[in-house]
């Protein structure tokens, strides 16, 4: 889906204690994706993979001296 939907879901988690509590009780990525979709955020497993990849790249650039 869209990175925007994923980013919006993360921001909602940062701002909503109730949503964070729900997330803490989930044990699988599929359950997290279902929670996101139920609350109106169009996310997919690929969004989580892309975010992890982007985070690794950003970390590399932060730590590297070019």
Domain ranges of the chain: 3-63
What are 29-60's pLDDT values in tens digits?
A: 899 999 999 999 988 888 877 766 566 666 66
In angstroms, the CA 44 to CA 1 distance is 6
Confidence of residue 15 (pLDDT cuts 50, 70, 90): very high
Q: Which residues contact 24 (CB under 8 A, 6 or more apart)?
A: none
pLDDT score for 19 = 92
Query: In terms of Cα–Cα distance, which of 58, 60, 66, 39 is closest to 10?
Result: 39
Residue 1's pLDDT is 46
Q: Which of 10-19, 21-30, 53-62 is least confident?
A: 53-62
> Which tokens in the block code for residue 27?
């044990």
């Amino acid at each position: 889906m869209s990175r925007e939907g994923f980013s919006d879901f993360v921001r909602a988690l940062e701002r909503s204690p109730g949503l964070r509590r729900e997330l803490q009780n989930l044990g699988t990525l599929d359950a997290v994706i279902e929670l996101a979709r139920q609350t109106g955020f169009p996310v997919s497993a690929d969004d989580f993979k892309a975010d992890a990849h982007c985070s690794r790249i950003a970390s590399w650039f932060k730590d590297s001296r070019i």
